[in-house]
Structure 1
């Protein structure tokens, strides 16, 4: 496996998709081959499960059932999209991954961590992100951003955006706990600032963690 696997996590409105797009452009300018994908989704079958979950059709089944559905989507996503790309040497940027199940259905949904861990082992088959960027900001700020985006685009709220502020505050705490428990993999990025500053913070952290992707190693070798 020669490609690098980079995931982005955080609460609603954290700006993950914006920063993934920016990082993809910078990596392609190095130049590197990059694939941007998302969860739930990222493959044909997984996208169908995504629609089912985010439309709220699984909510009445409870958080554990949702965790099982997310796992089913992740298995297809890993098998059909992520692993083949990494094996070809493509660098993969993923909007949410297993940490989101830990945070949303685990900590916030109160599903037993051992059950979440079992589902994770089944889905990932040893796959682990090289770096995870956790975009952190107060829950009320993120929800405010979501509201503005929905107003601008005429979108409705999805299954998780409809949850109360307490859920989203617990979600933030869960992501920070994940980062604290795994500092070698996770980088917490202050997302309560303008997108340019966030982009530079991510690039700086990537330069430290995976300098070969930013062109630092190549430049040093040439010098």
Structure 2
């Protein structure tokens, strides 16, 4: 799998460098009127928000060479990343930190649906993150055109704390990873949009 640290550095370079433009600071608020029913669907409570459906009107779609599609909320900035991947982000205007981040990458390493709950946290630590804390993990989750394994975790980079949803999803064209992350302090406000992006993901 493409290295997450490289993706973050590319993001920072693009956002801070001349010619990349100024990242939008507008957020999208999504509220669901549907009550989750994990008991009926068999979905673990921590992932009751995962309801596969197309993105809302106004969202754009980034398509990977391998065929996966990443839904991007309005107001987000598409950013350069590793070849064959797709990324988008928002920046916190006060701190200049990446406030919210979406990335999709084809499966490239030793990650599997079975080991994902261990692989992802270990990968974060290998990339230099600290204080890795897994909040929830599950296998056999349903996506729009496949099934996957997901982990929700927190960690600290050298500059800030983040929470992420990271999923490895298997579809007809292969396996792809989607990562949806936000500053830990922003998670309560960002979660609904990030969860909707994950729900709209097509591997």
Superposed pair shares fold, TM > 0.5 = no
- Indicate the structure (1 or 2) with the bigger Cα radius of gyration: 1
Greater RCO structure (CA 8 Å; 6+ sep): 1
In terms of fraction of residues, the more helix-rich structure is 1
In terms of fraction of residues, the more strand-rich structure is 2
Which TM-score bucket, shorter chain as reference? 0.3 to 0.5
Q: What TM-score do you get using the length of structure 2 for normalisation?
A: 0.32
Q: What TM-score do you get using the length of structure 1 for normalisation?
A: 0.30
